[in-house]
Amino acid sequence: METFRLTKNRIKDYLSNGKRLDGRDADEFREIVIETGISKKAEGSARVKIGKTEVLVGIKMDVGTPYPDSKDAGNLMVTAELLPLSSDRFESGPPRFEGIELGRITDRGIRESKFIDLKKLCIIEGEKVWNIFIDIYSINDDGNLMDAASIGALVALRDTKIPKYDEKEGKVIFGEWTKDKLPLSKAVPLSCTIHKVGNCLIVDPNREEEDASETRVTLALSDGNVVHSMQKGNEKEFEIEEFNNALDLAEKNYKKLYPLIKKYIE
């Protein structure tokens, strides 16, 4: 069932004093638990839990042909599936907008920041390049799948070992891995979603807070203050001042969050 309107109003009222029903501060995340290498079949993988929200992210690679407009670079493909297993709000069938958006936002943060050096993933220019597939699955949705997906994608990429490749045959030997890691940049594009609930800006909404949220903006930041991708979602507007505050909050959030995931990234 959808969160009751009176509960949403309570959340907003209480936030006007800067307080949240679960006792957190506006800029406070729930506990984040990260586990890498959760799949022996994937090139890289991760499980990320933020409170009761859980996602699994896996990296698979194979060799394909480059796109005509980037003949000397590997290909990156990100898909997200909001599994019906993870919430009664998600239905079986073709991907709906929420899942598509989740994949695309995660994709843009990684792509635009050049976190993966795709040029180094070219095998023969114009003929053979590595394809990298990042697949994101929701296991339990208790709000903020967006940031969980981003963290999951980053740490799974770092966990990735490149599979063995038979140059003569021009084929990947699936299930066998080299010791080589992906060429990743030191600038880590960590995503942060700021929600406007009532008149307050918060990070990491739980299910009820996300239901009460009227607008949001997701930013991928690296080095604490460099923005690589951004998307405002939902119907309500931001005041310019609020938006500026959201940027400040995102910056502040990066400083708190990055140390938590650092050991999985470096």
Partner 1 sequence: MRNEEFENEEIEQEVEVESEKERKVVIPGEVIVKGHDYLPGENTEKRGDSIVALRYGLAEEFRGLVKVIPLSGIYTPRRGNVVLGIVSNLTFNGWVIDVGAPDRAFLPLMEVPRFVNKNDIAEVMDIGDAVAVKIWSVKRRSIDLSIKSRGLGKLEDGMIFKINPNKVPRVIGREGSMVSLIKEETGCNITVGQNGYIWIKGEKVEDEILAKNAIMFITERSFVSGLTDKVKEWFDKQK
Partner 2 sequence: MAKEKSSDKESGFKRPDGRKVDELRPMSAKVGVVPNADGSAMFQFGNTIAIAAVYGPKEMHPQHSQNPQRGELRCTYNMLSFSVTERIKPGMSRRSQEISKITEWALKPVVMIDNFPSTVIDVHIQIIQADASTRCAGINAAALALAHAGVPMKGLVSSVSIGKLDKQLVVDVNKEEEDWEEGEGATDIPITLTSDGKLTHIQLDGKISTKQLKEAVELAKKATEKIYEVQKKALKDSVDLGK
> Dihedral sign, CA of 199, 200, 205, 207?
negative
Whether the CB-CB separation of 11 and 198 falls below 8 Å is answered with: yes
Binding map of partner 1 across residues 206-225, x = CB under 8 A, - = no contact:
--------------------
Q: Applying CB under 8 A, does 85 fall inside the site for partner 2?
A: yes
| Cβ closest to partner 1, residue 6 vs residue 240 | 6
Q: Applying CB under 8 A, does 84 fall inside the site for partner 1?
A: no
Cα 234 to Cα 51, 92, 163, 195: the distances in Å are 24, 23, 40, 10
Nearest to 63 by CA among 183, 176, 163, 179: 163
Shortest distance (Å) from residue 16 CB to partner 1: 11
Whether the CB-CB separation of 141 and 176 falls below 8 Å is answered with: no
With contacts defined by CB under 8 A, how many residues of the chain interact with partner 1? 13
Binding map of partner 1 across residues 12-51, x = CB under 8 A, - = no contact:
-xx----x-x-x----------------------------
Residues 177-206 binding partner 2 (CB under 8 A) are: none
With contacts defined by CB under 8 A, how many residues of the chain interact with partner 2? 33
Q: Applying CB under 8 A, does 133 fall inside the site for partner 2?
A: yes
How far apart (Å, rounded) are the C-alpha atoms in residues 246 and 234?
15
Alpha-helix runs per DSSP H in the chain? 5-15, 97-112, 145-159, 207-212, 240-265
- Binding residues (CB under 8 A) for partner 2: these are 38-43, 45, 52, 56, 58-60, 62, 79, 81, 83-88, 92, 94-95, 133, 135, 137, 139-142, 174-175
